[in-house]
Structures are given as C-alpha cells and as structure tokens.
Amino acid sequence: MSPERRNLLLALTVVLVLVAALLLWPSIREELAPEPTAAWVAIQPEGAGEAVVGTVLVDAGTPFQLYAVLEATARDGSKVYYTEAPALRLPDGPVPTEALARWDRPQEARVLWFTVEGALPYLELDPGETLERFRLTELLRPDWPQSWSVPGTLDPANDDSLVRSGARGDNPFGTQRFHVRIELYGRESSLIPQERYRSPGAAEIWRKWRVFPTVIASLPGAIGPASALFGLTQIEPPPTESQAMQREIRELTRHHMAFSRITALGSLLSSAGESMDSLDWRQISLDAGLPWSEEEGNLVRVGDRVVILFGDEGEPGALDRRDLCFDYARGAAVRPLGDVFVGGGEVELASVGR
C-alpha cells in the first residue's frame, strides 16, 4: 500500500472516530454525570445573602424567594446541587459555591410546588375525641410557575371557606411550609417522568420540624406571636378537654403546627406579660368615637367572643366598627369589628401590656 493511500485511510479513520465520539458524547457525558439523590426547598428572604433549607423568621411583609434544589452525587463522591440559588445553606452548614450548578442536563426538569398545611383551616373536636383527625397535607399550587425559583407567598391554599365568610386574604403575616417535586422527562416521552425527586413533605414534619422549609412572618410587639399563627389549623377542643389535650395543643402552637383560640390569646398575653385574670375590662361603645391611640394588641369582647385589635381602618384615630381585628371564630381571620359584633351585648375593652 502506498504511503499516500495509507495516510488517506488513517485520516478517514481519525475522522470516523471523531464523528463517532461527537455522536456518542451526549450519552457518555450523561452516563458520567452526577446521580440525583434528593430534593430540597431553600428560602431566601429579601436582603439575605443566602437561601436556607430550614425555618426562616422574618418581619411581616418581607418578600422572600423559594428555590428548588436537586442534590446529586458525582462518581468521586462529591456533591453537586442543581439550583438557581446564588448561595445555599443546608441544615448541616453552607454549601461551597463551586458545588452549585444550574440544571443543564438533556432531561427536561419540571418543578411542582406545594404548600404543606393543615387539611382543614378549622377543626372542631367532639367530646371525648382525640387529635387523630388533625393532619398536615401537601397542597399543589397549580397557579405557581413550574420553575426552579418562584416568589414565595404566605397565602394558604385551604382558606377559601374563611375568605367566603368575609375574612381578609393575602395577610403579610403568618406561617407557611413548602414542598417541591422535581420530575425529569426524557426525549422519548413528555407524559411520564423517568425520575421523580421529592423534598421532605407532610410525613417528615414531625421529626424534622426544626429544619423543615418554613417561613414564620410576624408583626412587631406583643401581637407578634398571635399574628404568626395565621395560616395554621385552628383546633377547637370540647369544653371538657383533658389536661393531656391542653398540653398537646400547646405543643402544636409552640411548634407552629396548629393552635386553639385559647393558645392564640395566651400567646398574646404571655408576650405582654399578662394573663386573663390580670386584665381590667371596661365597657365601651363602638359608636362613641373613642380615640384609637395605641389600641393594637388590645382585646375586645362581647360575651365569650374575644378578638384582638389590629388596624385602624375606619375613621382615622377613632375606634369604630370598621377597624380590623384578629378573630378566631372558625379559623384565624382578619375582619372588621362590625362584622364580628353585629348583634347586641355589652362591648368590653381591655388594654394589654400597658
């Protein structure tokens, strides 16, 4: 074989090898790519330098961003975190910047967002009943984008009954938990995902409550603990509740899982260093134009219906029926006083922490 022919064959062989390598490279690259193992939700409040997997405490009205995170393990054992978060902190510490990556794999990733809430905004227990009917569940938010990052919201998915009853929605305070599912689709099918990864959900809250992705937004002052209970299930025990049930509901309130009317009012009074027995109640008229002054956090009652004053929405500087309150009739709600006290009865006011 002549040298020219041998060189030509060698060149053709090199070209064929290069073409084959180019054609096979995507599959080879995917075969060598890190293997996904777990999903997380990270939360970054406005002004924070990193997104955190865990509980985040913020002032009422603080915007925050949710980031989906897909954890993967490389062949050398190192970790890669696919996310759009600029910086990330897991429960066991911060993630090195070089371990963060945007999703750039051949598979299409669809990100489904959920909030984790009580199945009901209000649960009334019968005499002798336990807390077995109280449960947390994952609620799909179909109106949220299927993207790796979405603006966070505290708005519950299960509060339609409260809104229909006249409660104000979109309150900038309360507690909300989050869950994400990342589905990976191949080119051959866009209907059935090849792989699914779930962040910790409702079943894991009880043993991971300290690090579960949660935003607790509260108002300043003594009213803060009561405002942080919005979005949670209100449990109304029977009048003859046992001491054991009282302790259970107090624990649920402490962990921001659920609350009762008694524990909601108790959180306000405890924050102000008061008790129901220490309050000085005085009779008032909601039509007398009393000065509003510093009424936020004070209590108004008619009979056994007790509410917490929240906002001067009526005549500026005056306490009237258009002013807002925290009401716990059948779930935590913001309502005008006039919607709560529509009938007769003696109206009484107590100043808290003054």
Where residue 189 falls among pLDDT bands split at 50, 70, 90? low
pLDDT of residue 32: 54
Residue 338 makes CB contacts below 8 A (sequence gap 6+) with 286, 321, 322
Residue 5 lies in a domain: no
Instruction: Look at residue 47 and tell me if it is in a domain.
Output: yes
Residues 68 and 197 in one domain: yes
Whole-number pLDDT of residue 292: 86
Residue 248 has pLDDT above 60, yes or no: yes
Last residue of a domain, one of 220, 255, 288: 220
Q: Are residues 214 and 282 in the same domain?
A: no
Residue-wise pLDDT tens digits, 295-313: 889 999 998 899 999 999 8
Residue 254 forms part of a structural domain: no
Q: How many CA atoms lie within 13 A of 287 on its CB side?
A: 5
**Domain identity same for 150 and 43:** yes
Torsion of CA 117, 120, 126, 132, to 10 degrees: -40
Q: For residue 310, give its domain range.
A: 277-354
Q: Give the whole-angstrom CA distance, residue 137 versus residue 125.
A: 19
Domain stop point among 220, 238, 259:
220
Summarised one tens digit per residue, pLDDT across range 40-91 is 999 999 999 999 999 999 999 999 999 999 999 999 999 999 999 999 999 9
Instruction: Work out the pLDDT band at 128, boundaries 50, 70, 90.
Output: confident
Give the whole-angstrom CA distance, residue 113 versus residue 226: 27
48 and 150 co-located in one domain: yes
3-state DSSP of 103-129: CCCCCEEEEEEEEEEECCCEEECCCCC
Mean pLDDT across the stretch 322-338? 93
Q: Examine residue 246 and state whether it is found in any structural domain, yes or no.
A: no
Q: Which H or E element spans position 334?
A: strand 333-336
Q: Percent of the chain at pLDDT above 90?
A: 68
- Tell me the C-alpha distance between 87 and 353, whole Å: 41
pLDDT at 182: 98
Using H for helix, E for strand and C for coil, what is the string for 152-221? Answer: CCCCCCCCHHHHHCCCCCCCCCEEEEEEEEEEEECCCCCCCCCEEEECCCHHHHHHHCCCCCEEEEECCC
Residues 197 and 285 in one domain: no
Q: What is the pLDDT of residues 320-329, one digit of tens each?
A: 999 999 999 8
Same domain, 198 and 313: no
User: 142: which DSSP letter?
Assistant: T
User: Is residue 169 domain-shared with residue 285, that is, in the same domain?
Assistant: no
- Of 201, 220, 239, at which residue does a domain stop? 220
Strands 149-151 and 195-198, sheet pairing:
unpaired
Query: What is the number of structural domains in the chain?
Result: 2
Residue 130 belongs to a domain: no
Q: Please report whether residue 49 resides in a domain.
A: yes
In a domain, 233, yes or no: no
* Same domain assignment for residues 51 and 149: yes
Q: Are residues 141 and 206 in the same domain?
A: yes
Domain assignment present for 318: yes
Same domain, 203 and 298: no
Q: For residues 253 and 242, what is the distance between their CA atoms, to the nearest angstrom? A: 17
140 falls in which pLDDT band (50, 70, 90)?
Answer: very high
Output the average pLDDT for the chain: 88
Tell me the pairing of strands 100-101 and 79-82: parallel
What 8-state DSSP symbol labels residue 99? G
Tell me, yes or no, whether 213 and 281 share the same domain.
no
**Mean per-residue pLDDT, 217-240:** 94
| Range of lowest pLDDT (144-148, 149-153, 166-170, 276-280) | 166-170
Q: Are residues 140 and 286 in the same domain?
A: no
